[in-house]
Amino acid sequence: MKIIRAFIHFICIGMAVLMLGSCDENKGNQVEYLAVQLEEGDSWSIIDKDGKVVVEEEYPSDADVSAIIDDVYWVKSGDKYQLFSIDSPKKPLVGEEFDNVSSFNQNDLAPVSIHNQPIRIINKKGKTVATLPKSIKRCYCFSKDGFAIFTDKNEKYGVINTKGKIVVKPSYYYICPINEGLMIAAKKEDDKKALILNTSGKKVGEIDLQKYHPVTVSFVEGKIIVKDAKADHPKFYAMNSKGEKLFTIKKAKEIETNYMNGYLVIKDDNGKCGVVDDQGELVIRPKYTILFHLGKDFFIAQKEEKIGIINAKDECVIDFEHDDATQTQLGNHFIMQDGNEYVILDKEGKEYNTFHTCSGFNNLFVEYTEDAPTAKEEPQTYDPGMEDDMEGYGTYGLMAALPVGTTHYTGDMGGYPIEFTIVNHPDKGELYANYKNKNYGTTMKMIGESLPADDGAISFTGEENGTHWNFKLDGDANNISGTAYGSNNYQFKVKLKRM
C-alpha cells in the first residue's frame, strides 16, 4: 500500500531528528565538547564549550569521532570502534573493540555488537547490562524514555526496555521512534489505520491513513503533524495521542521539521520558510530560503545565499554573512562556516576559536551479524547476450570522462561539505563510490550504474543509517554535479570538484 510505504520512509527521519536533541529539552541541540581537526590533515583534538583544546591531537586524522554525550564518545579506526571519555582520552574505557555501535544519545545505555556474537546493551563505563537473544537481528538506540525498538529474523518490530526484556512482542510491520511514552505502529503492510501505542503496547489511539498522512512520526510536545489525504491543496493539522485533530497549521505547503520548544518550521507556496507556534499561528512570516531549529529559540536561516542566526522573535543574532552553520551549539556558542574554516562565535559576535573540520557521528542502530553458511560455488557460463546489454557503456557523458582507477572529489550536498571518492575499473566491472559528510563524519558506500539513456550520467545508490540514497550525477573528469534523492523525500543539489 503506497500510503504505508511512504509513511515508513519517515521513520529514519524521526529517529535522526530525535537524536539531535539533548537530554535537557531546555538546551536543545547543545554539546559541551566537540571533536575537531584544528588544521587540515591534523589528528583529531577535542575542544570544550569555550573553544579551548582539552584533548590535543589524540586520534589519527583518518579516524572518526562520534558526538560526545555526557563526556563519553566512540572512536572508529578502520572497521572497529572503541569507547573513550573526556577523563580517559588515551585509554579506552573497555578493552573490547566493537564492530557495530549506537549512540548514548538519550541515556546511559547503547546497543553494541561484535561479529558472530549477539547484540549487547552496555552502559557508559562499557559494562554489559544485558545480552539480547540471537533472534534479535537489529536494535535501535534507546529513547530518553528508556526503550529501544528492535527487529527479529522475520523483520517484525518489537520493543525492549533498559534491562533487555521484551515489553512489546515482535509482531508489527513497523514501529516508529518512541518519544514521550508513545509510538506509532501497524500490524500489517496494508493496514488502513496506524495504531498509537504506549510503551507497554497498549493502544491509546489510532490514525485513519485513508484520511490523514502522518508527516512527523514521533510525538513531540504531545502532538504529531498530519496531512489531509484528500485535500487538493496541502492542509496540515496537529493531532494528539488519541488521534484527534487539535488545530490547523497556517500558511503551510510543506512541513520542514517537527516541533521543538513550541515552534515548527513550515514552507509556503512560494518555497519560503517561516515558523508557527504551538497553536499553528505564524510567528515568523515565510521569507527565508532555509530555516532549521538550533537549540532553544534559535534558528539557522538563509537569505540572499548567506547564512545567519535568528531568534524566535525574528531578531538577527548572528549576521547574514556566513557560508554555513552547524546544527549544533557548542555550549551557548554558535559554529559558523566561512570557506574551509569554522569559527566559534557568541551572541555578540565575539570569536573564541577556529578549526578546519569537525566530527560527531551518531549511529542509529546495530545489527547481529554472523558468518554465512559455506555454499558450493556454481560454475559460471558465458552468455553472449551480455555483450548486447553492455553496448554503449562508457562511450559518452560522465561515464566516458571518468578516469580509470580511484578519483577523489570534494564538494557539497545541499550546503554540507562532503568527500566523494569514485572507484572505476571497467575491466573488472567495478564502479562504486565512498561518500563522507565532513560535518558529521557519516559515511556510505554506493554502487554505481551507467545510464546510457540519460546521456551517460551515473547513478550511485547506497544506504546511510536506514535511509536509501540515489545520486544522479553527470559532468566531466574534473567537475561533477547532480541531485541526491533520499527515501525520506528530500532532494539535495550535489556539486563536486576533483581534488
Each residue's pLDDT tens digit, 354-375 = 999 998 888 888 999 998 765 5
Query: Amino acid identity, residue 454?
Result: D
3-state helix, strand, coil split of the chain in percent (to 5) is 5, 50, 40
DSSP-derived letter for residue 454 is G
Q: Cell 572505476 belongs to which residue? A: 424
Residues 6+ apart with CB under 8 A from 142: 106, 107, 109, 110, 111, 148, 162
Dist CA 436 CA 440 (whole Å): 9
Per DSSP, the three-state class of 466 is: coil
* Cα of 201 vs its chain's centroid, Å: 27
The predicted structure's pLDDT at residue 490 = 61
Listed as ranges, residues in the chain with pLDDT below 70 are 1-28, 105-106, 373-396, 415, 439-441, 451-455, 465-466, 487-491
Report residue 417 as a C-alpha cell: 561539505
Could you give the CA distance from residue 488 to residue 485 in angstroms, rounded to a whole number?
8
Go through 382-393 and write b for each residue having 16 or more CB atoms within 10 A of its CB, e for each that does not. eeeeeeeeeeee
- The pLDDT of residue 440: 58
Please state, in angstroms and rounded to a whole number, the distance separating the CA atoms of residues 210 and 425: 49
Dump pLDDT digits (tens) for 445-473: 898 887 665 567 888 988 876 577 889 89
pLDDT value at position 361?
A: 81
Q: Please state the pTM of the whole predicted model.
A: 0.72
Q: What's the pLDDT score for residue 257?
A: 86
Torsion angle of C-alpha atoms 163, 20, 362, 448, degrees rounded to 10:
130
- DSSP H helices in 50-191: none
pLDDT at 106: 64
- Residue located via cell numbers 554503449: 392
Please check whether residue 437 is in contact with residue 416, taking contact to mean a CB–CB distance below 8 angstroms.
yes
